[in-house]
Amino acid sequence: MLIHKDFTVYEADNSVLWELAQFVVKENISHHTSKDSDIKGKIQELVYKVYKEETELADRSKIFIVRNNTGDMVGSIRSTLWDRKAKLPMETLFGFNPLDCDFSKDITKYWHIGRLAINKEASQYPKSILKTLINIVTAPIKKDPYGCLLAEVDRKLFNNLKALGIDAHQIAPSKQYLASETIPIYSMSSDILISYKSS
């Protein structure tokens, strides 16, 4: 657990999965669509889809939640140590298995990172929260010389990963997902360059 004067970061159990799915969908839509967007009518369908994906990965996942002083969820991220058998969101969305990609031959462990969302209106410190969450989930990857991070990120985050200390490589063309242009990426442990401390 990490306690800041305005928020707390902690590892959650599976009881938070439905709330996590609701939060991730809501934040993605609020960040990327206008109020009259057609996607607004599909919120419950999207929440259920995210929830279902997360329940299937839950046994090998760690979920980190950020709550403000009134208990509201203001940030989230999930890290899964992939067993090479479970179906990743990357496979469902982009139609390929990372094991079939050229970069995979020397990798000993894969971590799939997902469900990164931050409520910038509810928190006065979104950059601090982002750096803290990224640092938490990349820490075990950096310890393995042949570890690999897998993720699907929106265009804005992809363009800013270098500034966060991650040299990310795009695997396939982007697609629209949760109201934004989404890019499948990988980063080897050697691509994760900087360790951040929360501020």
Whose CA is closest to 113, among 83, 66, 153, 147?
A: 153
Residue-range definition of the domain harbouring residue 10: 2-191
Quick check: is 113 in a domain? yes
Q: Is there a domain that residue 66 lies in?
A: yes
Q: What is the DSSP letter of 54?
A: H
DSSP state of 35: T
Q: Is residue 35 in a domain?
A: yes
Q: What is the 3-state secondary structure (H, E, C) of 127-165?
A: HHHHHHHHHHHHHHHHCCCCEEEEEEEEHHHHHHCHHHC
Domain membership flag for residue 196: no
DSSP state letter for 79 = E
pLDDT for res 194? 63
d(CA 56, CA 87): 8
- pLDDT tens-digit profile of 149-162? 999 999 999 999 98
Domain assignment present for 135: yes
From its phi and psi, is residue 171 left (phi > 0), alpha (psi between -120 and 50) or beta?
alpha
Mean of per-residue pLDDT scores for the chain: 88
199 is a domain residue: no
Residue of higher predicted confidence among 111 and 36: 111
E strands present in the chain: 2-3, 7-12, 61-68, 73-82, 109-118, 147-154, 169-170, 175-177, 180-188
Residue 163 tokens read as 């500034």
CA 55 to chain centre: 15
CA pair distance 2, 8, nearest whole angstrom: 6
pLDDT higher than 50, residue 86: yes
pLDDT at 193 over 70: yes
48 found inside a domain = yes
Looking at residue 181, its amino acid is: E
The count of domains in the chain is 1
Q: Is a pLDDT exceeding 60 seen at residue 39? A: no
Average pLDDT over residues 61-82: 95
Domain CATH code at residue 46: 3.40.630.30
Report, as an integer, the average pLDDT of 85-96: 92
Rounded to an integer, what distance in angstroms lies between the CA atom of residue 33 and that of residue 29? 5
- 197 in a structural domain: no
> Is residue 117 within 8 Å of 24, Cβ to Cβ?
yes
